[in-house]
Structure 1
Amino acid sequence: MQQTSTVMSPPVHLGLPLEAPKPAEGCGVCAVLVRQRDRAREEFDHSAVTDADVELRNHPHGERG
């Protein structure tokens, strides 16, 4: 007979959400991603907002604010 454990797992600790990334000045790709993110925010599509933020963070521009 198999014994079932009734012990709870430890709590999950989440950090604070990251700030929204800022687009690189003069970059058309960044500008489009910001528009997509803003539209998604207006439509309460949090998944699309996150997707746009990830794309902005990963878009290659080196250091930016």
Structure 2
Amino acid sequence: MTNPTTYSNPPVELPLRLEGDPHPVPGCDVCEALSAERSDARTTGNMSKVSDVNVELRNHPHRKRRRA
């Protein structure tokens, strides 16, 4: 017989972040292409691709970065 695994603390629950889609920077060809790609992915129901494109838009160099 084996001993069941027990934990001293309950599991950590992380909040679900619903920030919405990032907006493309007007006049940026890369942002506009990513936005079109996201629209196509949403139209076909590929929400994984929508999420991936949102990450790309958020990390695109237009946003201000914190200094370390």
Shift of 1:19: 1.4
TM-score of the two chains, using structure 2 as the length reference: 0.75
Shift of 1:14: 2.6
CA distance in 2, matches of 1:23, 1:52: 11
Total equivalences in the alignment: 62
Moved over 3 A (4+): none
Which structure has more relative contact order (CA 8 Å, sep 6+)? It is 1
Amino acid corresponding to residue 32 of structure 1 in structure 2: A
After superposition, the CA RMSD in angstroms is 2.1
Determine if the alignment matches structure 1 residue 31 to structure 2 residue 32. Answer: yes
Shift of 1:17: 1.5
Amino acid corresponding to residue 2 of structure 1 in structure 2: T
Deviation string, structure 1 residues 18-51 (Cα, Å, up to 9, x no partner): 2100001100000000000000000110000001
TM-score of the two chains, using structure 1 as the length reference: 0.78
